[in-house]
A = this chain, B = another copy of it.
Amino acid sequence: MQERGGRVKNPTLRDVARLADVSVATASKALNGRNHVHPETRTRVLEAARLLSFTPNTLAQGLLAGQTGTVGLITGDLDGRFSIPILMGAEDAFGTGKMSVFLCDARGDSIREQYHLQALLGRRVDGLIVVGSTTNSRPSLGDLPVPVVYAYGPSTDPNDISLVPDNVQAGADAARHLVSRGRRHIAHITGDVDYAAAQDRTRGITSVLDDAGIELVGGEARYGTWSEEWGRTATARLLEEHPETDGILCGNDQIARGALDTLRDAGWDVPTRVAVMGFDNWEVFTSGARPHLSSVDMNLEVLGRTAARRLFEAIEGTATPGTEELPCRVVVRETT
C-alpha cells in the first residue's frame, strides 16, 4: 500500500502531533492557523503533516461542529437532460471542494426517494436540493430537519422553497420575437398536454398574440409528443390545412427539427417563407439543424446556481419560502 514518506495508512492528528513532538491540541491549532502557537512549532507541525500526507478527517470535524459541509441532490431522472445542467450549476455554486454533493437518482420512484432521503439524513447533510424531471409540481417531502430547495419541478406546498423556469415568459418572448420579425400567421406545435411546461408556454404565446390582435393558426395549440416524429406529422398537416402559415413555434427543439425536415421536404424556405423556433436550446439539436435553429434557453445552469444560493440562505436561516420563477432567454439563430 501507499508508503509515501510516512508509515501509516490513514494518519491522524495524533500521528502528526507525535512526529512533531507536540500535543494534539497544539498540532490542531498549528494546522488551523490559530493564534498562540510559536512560529517554529507551527512549521514543525506543518512539516510533519506534509511528511505523513495528513488529511484531516472531515467527518470527525463535522461531528464536532454539527455541520458536515455536504448537501444532498435528489434527482428524478438523471438521464433526462434537464437535471444535468442544474446539477452542474449547483456544483459550481457550492465551490470546488468547499461543499460536497451527494447525488441520488430516485428514477421517479417515491419509495426509492424515501430510501435515499433516509441515507442522506443519516449522513447529516446540511441541506437538500430536489430536482424534478418536469416542471409539473410534486408533493413536498414534508417537514425535514434540514432545509430543502425544489428546482425545476416545484413543490405543491407554497411554504417550501421552489425554483422554476418562467415558461410563461419564455412563450411570450418567443411569440414576441416572431411577431417582431413580421410574422402574422403563427402556429404552435407542442408536446404532451399533461406537461405544465407545454401549457405555460402556450399561455405565454397566446397572451402576446392576443395583445397583437393575432390568433394562433388553427385557433389553438397542437399538442402531441415531444418528438421529432410528431414535429414532422403535425407540420405536414399544418402546411396542408394552412398554407398561409409564416411562423411555427415548436414546444421543444426536437419538434422543431421535425418541422424543419418536413418544411425542407415540402420545399418551403426557412426562414424566408416560414420562421421556426424551438424551446430548451439543446445545442446538439440547434446547431445540427439546417439552418441553425433559434430557440429559447431555460438558463438551467443559472437555475442550479440559484438553487444552491437559496439553499445556503436557508441553511443560514434567512429563508424566503415560495416559488420563484427564473427568466429564460431567446437565442436567435438562422431560422427566424
Contacts and interface: CB of A to CB of B under 8 A. Distances in A.
A88 interface: yes
Contact of A9 (B85, B145, B229, B287): B145
Interface in A132-148: 143-145
Given A9-B145, A10-B145, A101-B102, A288 B59 contact: no
A55 B122 CA distance: 6
Nearest to A115: B97
Q: Is the interface of A mostly helix, strand, loop or mixed?
A: mixed
A119 interface: yes
A108 interface: no
B102 A100 contact: yes
**Chain A interface residue count: which class?**
35 or more
Nearest to A57: B124
Contact of A288 (B88, B101, B254): B254
A58 B124 contact: yes
Given A57-B124, A96-B112, A103-B103, 10 more contacts: A1-B145, A2-B143, A55-B122, A60-B63, A78-B84, A84-B84, A91-B104, A96-B115, A97-B119, A229-B287
Interface of A: 1-4, 9-10, 55-60, 62-63, 68, 70, 73, 78-79, 84-85, 87-88, 91, 96-98, 100-105, 112, 115-116, 118-124, 143-145, 227-229, 232, 254, 257-258, 261, 284, 287-288, 290
